[in-house]
Amino acid sequence: MPDVRSICAIGLSGQLGLHGHLPWEGDQRPEFVADVARFFDITRGHVLIAGPKTIGAIPDFARGDRTLVVIRSHEDPEEVLSRFPDRVVYVGGGPPVWDVYARHIRHWDINRLPYDGPADRWFDPKWLVAG
């Protein structure tokens, strides 16, 4: 089984998304720019599995230095993860993906950003103890 991890950024109140995007998307303040750079640095050389929207949002410059895999809701998580023995696999996405994959995630890398605005997707602490 691979080393399964997740990396995400949340707002001050646990905000994750708004209308299908990061609520702070495009914010050019240093901490937001650094978070994006950190994501690409940490996932470099590893596998990133996520839904089609998340994988589709990966910019061209980052596509060649990580293995990107689109996952679908009908796929069995154990089967998906078994394709990557001895690899580090990052589970990206959001609530629908983490609801299914949380029990496999050994390490959560959560960066809290100084965003305190609206959201329609929230981080659920139950994912941290799923198992």
Question: CA angle at residue 121 from 47 to 102, to 5 degrees?
Answer: 40
CATH superfamily of 3-129: Dihydrofolate Reductase, subunit A (3.40.430.10)
pLDDT (tens place) for every residue of the chain, 131 residues total: 899 999 999 999 999 999 999 999 999 999 999 999 999 999 999 999 999 999 999 999 999 999 999 999 999 999 999 999 999 999 998 999 999 999 999 999 999 999 999 999 999 999 999 87
CB 87 within 8 A of CB 94: no
3-state secondary structure of 112: strand
> Domain extents for the chain?
3-129
Q: How much is the pTM? A: 0.95
pLDDT for position 51: 94
- Phi and psi angles of residue 12, each rounded to the nearest 5 degrees, phi first: -60, -25
Contact 25, 122 (CB under 8 A): no
pLDDT number for residue 23: 97
The reported pLDDT for the residue numbered 107 is 97
Of 1, 6, 5, 21, nearest in space to 117 by CA: 21
Instruction: Please tell me the predicted confidence (pLDDT) of residue 1.
Output: 82
pLDDT of the residue at 90:
98
